[in-house]
Structure 1
Amino acid sequence: MSTPWTERIRAEIEASMRVKSAILRDFTLIGQIESLASDCVASLKGGGKILFAGNGGSFADAQHLSAEFTARLCYDRAPVASMALGTNSSAISAIGNDYGYEQVFARELDALAREGDLFIPITTSGNSPNILAAVEVARRRDVTCVGLTGQAGGKLYTLCDCIRVPSSETTRIQESHIMIGHILCALVERTLFPR
């Protein structure tokens, strides 16, 4: 039985499917995801770690994806080195107070990142000042950086390689970012810990 919400629910699901279908048909994007998975494997095999950062929903995605690496995704295996920047609330409040909110990720990245690490900034707009500042630090420290962003890419697209979800809607972009992140983790898991 249809309710007033039924068509709205179906429309939201269909909108999500359209974006994911566009990704599925875009072999350039598929190649970029494959390349990022290879970068993750190379970093981890070389003793590096995977670092994530984001704001709001993208912050939640950064934590979620880092947890998939350090815990597990599809099956039991050893943990891999990963962390989401900004999860230490004392550091965030201290850095924000002393240096400004635009520096909260950059300062942590500067302290923690080493050559051979991989930084994955997540921003739907590509224009978050604190993400852009962290990317500048990654570039200065020779840390490989591949961003997850929306169709336009924003300023992030001028600073590093980006996987751009073919949408300008925040909800659709975030849904696709978590899908891409799950794919990355699954590929890394299967490569480093074959069953």
Structure 2
Amino acid sequence: MNGNEETWVHRVQGILDATARALAAVKEQDAETVVRMAHVVAGAFRSRRRLYLFGNGGSAADSQHLAAEFINRFQRERDPLPAMALTTDTSVLTSIANDYDFRDVFLRQLRGLGEAGDVALGLSTSGRSENVLRALRWAREHGLHTLGLAGAQKTDMDVYCDLILHVPDAVTARVQEVHITVGHALCDLVEEMLYGAGASKNPMSPVRCG
């Protein structure tokens, strides 16, 4: 391996080390927060309520990724769980942005779809995305459970979230990498809580139909 290749290898190793440090910090500080979030989501599903996920850019992709894990499956063969990403309908998103304001693209969807007892999960690496904040504020005011995945800084997002997880890193890419890992942990826990060996056998749980 020549010198240039070694430099690139070291760069990759540095990126992976940085991600590992961020994950280790969350492991030590916030594993309990993930468990508490899972209880909220699983409880909502048991009560036949829905989960709404939303964010911008990479967080939009994470929202639809995680919604797919709930609607389809994660690790277990089980019934679909009612989760929806508010980032995927281009007609809805562009009409709201065009007729009203981009800051309202998630808020108006929640106003039309959300009900008390549902869960609103907002993702923002900065914690300052105005469209995420507006949606979380409305959700909090109207009886939805509010969860957040954010970056290192405390912001107004903390005010509007019942539970929030901060990734202690200043690099957006590292924050996003931790968010999707935490999201996968959330999916795993919810599946186990609803369908694992110790899950309730209530035949009315966990999904809402129709």
Letter of the 1:61 counterpart: D
- 1:155 and 1:136 map into 2 onto residues whose CA distance is 9
Q: Secondary structure at the match of 1:180?
A: helix
Mapped contact 1:119–1:146 kept (Cα < 8 A): yes
The correspondence of residues 38-187 of structure 1 with structure 2, limited to 5 A, is: 38-160=39-161, 161-187=163-189
Structure 2 counterpart of 1:21, from 24, 32, 48 = 24
Q: Contact conserved, 2:63 with 2:85, CA < 8 A, in 1?
A: yes
For residues 196 and 55 of structure 2, what CA distance do their matches in structure 1 show? 30
- State the 1:166 CA deviation: 1.5
Displacement after TM superposition at 1:67 (Å):
0.4
| Partner AA of 1:164 in structure 2 | H
Structure 1 CA distance, aligned partners of 2:139 and 2:160? 10
Report if the CA contact (8 A) 1:125-1:153 is conserved.
no
CA contact (8 A) 1:138 1:145 kept: yes
Instruction: Report how far residue 153 of structure 1 moved.
Output: 3.0
Question: 1:29-87 deviations in whole A, cap 9, x for unaligned?
Answer: 11111100000111000010111000000000000000000011112211100000131
TM-score of the superposed pair, with normalisation by structure 1: 0.95
102-111 or 161-170, larger mean C-alpha shift: 161-170
Deviates more, 1:73-82 or 1:156-165: 156-165
Preserved CA contact (<8 Å) 1:124 1:174: yes
CA contact (8 A) 1:167 1:173 kept: yes
Q: Which runs of 5+ in 1 are unaligned?
A: none
Structure 2 matches for 1:27-38, cutoff 5 A?
29-38=30-39
- For residue 116 of structure 1, report the CA deviation from its aligned partner: 1.1
Partner of 2:205: none
SS at match of 1:5: helix
Q: In structure 2, list runs of 5 or more residues that go unmatched.
A: 198-210
Following TM superposition, the consecutive aligned residue runs of length 4 or more in structure 1 with deviations greater than 6 angstroms are none
Q: Secondary structure at the match of 1:119?
A: strand
Larger Rg over CA atoms: 2
Percent identical: 35
1:8 to 2, 8, 11: 11
Q: Aligned residues, how many?
A: 193
CA distance in 2, matches of 1:49, 1:139: 15
Q: Which amino acid aligns with 1:152?
A: Q
